[in-house]
Structure 1
Amino acid sequence: MRDYEDGLAAAQHGYTVADAVNDWLDFGLSSRDPNTVATRRSLATHHVIPALGARKLRELSAEDVDRWLQEKSRTLSTRTLQDIKSILSRAIKRAQARDKVKRNVVLLCDTPTGQVGRPSKSLTLPQAEALLEHCDGSTMGTYVLLSLLTGARTEELRALTWSHIDLRGDPHTTPPILPHMMVWRSVRAGGDTKTRTSRRTLALPQRCIDALHGHRTRQAAQRKLAGDRWADHDLVFASEAGTPLDSANVRRGFRRIAAAAGLNATDWTPRELRHSFVSVLSDARVPIEVISRLVGHAGGSSVTEEIYRKQLRPVIDEGATAMDRVFPTAPGSHSVSHSPRPRTAERPGPELR
């Protein structure tokens, strides 16, 4: 009666949790990446709907949610528990906005600790050196080398274009502009990086510069051989026809190189190259604040974040300097080392939004 007097629509008594979750899956994820949508749908259909779907939404209690999460904690990791709880909470929030239910009981519940998931690990220095020795003159060899020596995410490297690579720099400016790559894109929905601080410009270690020179020459030969079949997306890492690589392509190529380096290939994934980058820099006593900037993690002072978002991006060179020290240029290389390196250099670019 109070809802009626306030002009609110009467809630449907038969509206279930499954109705709310399916409505959110169908209409609440329209702007998300297809892989994200598929993952959320799988979690909902396997863990949320079977356990709670038949309950009437208006009768769902915090105790019901607590018991459900506690039961799931026996088999699922803490991260997965957080994900399925988020799915239920977002579905109920959408239902709230449509007057299907008065409150979101999920907000009253805590996430229990789940099972230990697969731990992230990093390569030791000897393992990293062995991997680099087997980064042959191939697309994936260059990919692995660049990932290990710059810490770029796999989704960032798959979207990297030649227009965002500068292998020459400009030593005549003040301060000099070093050879660098602009990590400004990813294969995520909309093409943007994971966070604002993920959008960064990194000076390249000398081994990366040498490898990219050779890779560009090989790719030009592939383009000529493919002729009209070549799909020109300006991608640094592409198939033999110029098309984008997917995650399965990268995983297979990485494991081939890992096996050649004497590693148990099934124990490693491409994302652990990024973990290894952080580990190598930490062992080289690079400050954590610098590592955070290099890998594009959110953090640091809000003033710095605001300046980086609105003004020119500096070329962060500490990572390249450290990697040149840890992994020296191969003997006989014709390239000239940038030593000493200035702390930063700037390159004009579009305003970051």
Structure 2
Amino acid sequence: MASRERPLEKRPHGSGTKPVKRGNRWYMQVTLGRRLDGKLDRRWASGATPEEAQQKARELQVAAAQGMLPTYERLTVGDWLQTWLQAKATKAAPTYTLKLEAHIKHIRESLGRVELRKLRPAHVHTLGQKLEAKSLAPSYRREVLCTLEAALERAVAMELIPRNVARPVKLESTPQVRKVKAWDAQTVSRFLEVSKPYRLYPLFYLGFATGLRREELLGLRWQDVDLPNRTLRVEQTLTPVKGSVHIGPPKSRASRRVVSFGLDVVAVLEDWRVRQREEARILGDHWQDTGLVFTSSTGQPLHPRNVNRDMAAIIKRHELPPLSPHGMRHTHATLLAQKTKQIELVSRRLGHARPSITLDLYRHVAAWELEEVALPLSELLSPAPRTLN
């Protein structure tokens, strides 16, 4: 009489497939949840015996439950950058998102097809070399690498990769002295004289008088201007975004500041407000009340390209030295630094995070620092104090 076969033991749900022998080892498959693409994450465990294979499978399950499971996803750097950018775009300003998109374009050209888990510092170093070959500015190359480092840092937090391979890679380049374009006082006076007939004359005047950025000038509201006390608050900016404009907060905490101005600015702004109110009265219901100081003839926000266009036209017509709207800021800072010899004061007025940034930009106008300390040895040895101006 044939012996009855021993019935198979029923395995618990989720314990994996039955161990099978292949060659000299036993293998079994276990499901550990779902991958990033939504498919089931199935892994193989092996051992010299069925029991050892089952033990390996249990270890995989425990590691998955603790979030310590190594990833074997064939996720490329390009795919991850896209996922990371989509998450950032939900919280970041549109202008910042556009900047990240430009950075990621450079990264994907070089590393887009590399598997995220196979990315190494050598890949990042090669990216830096390719960026340098494109003759991109060192500061911009650093921004691109910083974007990659930030994206990889998030991948580490998500346990997609064990470490951030971009962190140890540093750019090796010759330090470059930043040069800014600015006008002298005579040129500024000439420009303001010939620009009086133009609609944007008050904007130009305020730009040279306060050193506000173009985006800060265009985002300025009447509620932020206190004419009796001759101050204004920088509370928002207006920036271009794909043919339109975006109004949002200033670029940094230091940029949110109070800026004082003189009686001449009060007179210019009062005249401008009278003209703007007259335009609103004439248009009636067709006037768009945005509350902005500088608007179009219908009250709508001004696009930054209008400022660039009008300034360039005035400069060309009257044969003045080239200068961009941002040059008004540099000109103000240069003239103020030469007049006051107070870099820290200039820094606060410009909204720089640190005086060192201001000093780096306007070192060429800080020659008095060297003159002030060029003292003869006899005076250095003298006990009498000397106050520097």
TM category, shorter: 0.7 to 0.9
Q: Distance in 2 between matches of 1:225 and 1:118?
A: 48
Partner of 2:293: 236
Partner of 1:51: 110
Q: Distance in 1 between matches of 2:104 and 2:296?
A: 35
Q: Secondary structure at the match of 1:187?
A: strand
Give the 5 Å matches for 1:163-182: 163-167=223-227, 169=228, 178-182=229-233
Q: Which sits farther off after the overlay, 184-193 or 211-220?
A: 184-193
Q: Deviations over 1:59-93 (max 9, x none)?
A: 11111111220232122111221121122112212
Superposed displacement of residue 4, structure 1: 6.0
Q: Secondary structure at the match of 1:202?
A: strand
Q: Secondary structure at the match of 1:226?
A: helix
Superposed displacement of residue 190, structure 1: 7.2
The structure showing larger relative contact order (alpha-carbon pairs under 8 Å, at least 6 residues apart) is 1
Q: Tell me the matched-pair count.
A: 288
Q: 2:149 aligns with which of 89, 97, 118?
A: 89
Partner of 1:186: 237
Q: Distance in 2 between matches of 1:179 and 1:227?
A: 30
Q: Distance in 2 between matches of 1:158 and 1:3?
A: 58
Q: Distance in 2 between matches of 1:118 and 1:67?
A: 26
TM-score (norm 2): 0.68
Q: 1:217 aligns with which of 264, 274, 285?
A: 274
* Distance change (3 Å), C-alpha of 1:224 and 1:50: same
Superposed displacement of residue 183, structure 1: 2.3
Partner of 2:83: 23
What stretches of structure 2 of length at least 5 have no aligned partner? 1-55, 240-245, 356-389
Superposed displacement of residue 114, structure 1: 7.7
2:261 is aligned with what amino acid?
A: L
Give the 5 Å matches for 1:60-139: 60-74=119-133, 75-113=135-173, 119-139=179-199
- Whether the 8 Å CA contact 1:77–1:116 is kept in 2: the answer is no
What stretches of structure 1 of length at least 5 have no aligned partner? 170-177, 301-353
Determine what percentage of the aligned residue pairs are the same residue.
26
1:52 is aligned with what amino acid?
A: L
Q: Deviations over 1:163-215 (max 9, x none)?
A: 22222x2xxxxxxxx32222233236773223323222222223211211111
- Whether the 8 Å CA contact 1:186–1:192 is kept in 2: the answer is yes
Q: Secondary structure at the match of 1:194?
A: coil
TM-score (norm 1): 0.75
- Whether the 8 Å CA contact 1:69–1:112 is kept in 2: the answer is no
Alpha-carbon RMSD across the aligned residues, in angstroms, is 2.4
Q: Distance in 2 between matches of 1:92 and 1:136?
A: 52
Q: Is 1:202 matched with 2:270?
A: no
* Distance change (3 Å), C-alpha of 1:256 and 1:115: farther
More strand by share: 2
* Distance change (3 Å), C-alpha of 1:241 and 1:114: farther
Give the 5 Å matches for 1:144-155: 144-155=204-215
Superposed displacement of residue 244, structure 1: 0.9
Structure of higher CA gyration radius: 2
* Distance change (3 Å), C-alpha of 1:295 and 1:190: same
* Distance change (3 Å), C-alpha of 1:187 and 1:3: farther
Q: Secondary structure at the match of 1:193?
A: coil
Q: Secondary structure at the match of 2:203?
A: helix
* Distance change (3 Å), C-alpha of 1:272 and 1:4: farther
- Whether the 8 Å CA contact 2:211–2:332 is kept in 1: the answer is yes
Q: Distance in 2 between matches of 1:248 and 1:55?
A: 39
Superposed displacement of residue 119, structure 1: 4.4
Q: Distance in 1 between matches of 2:157 and 2:194?
A: 56
Q: Secondary structure at the match of 1:103?
A: coil
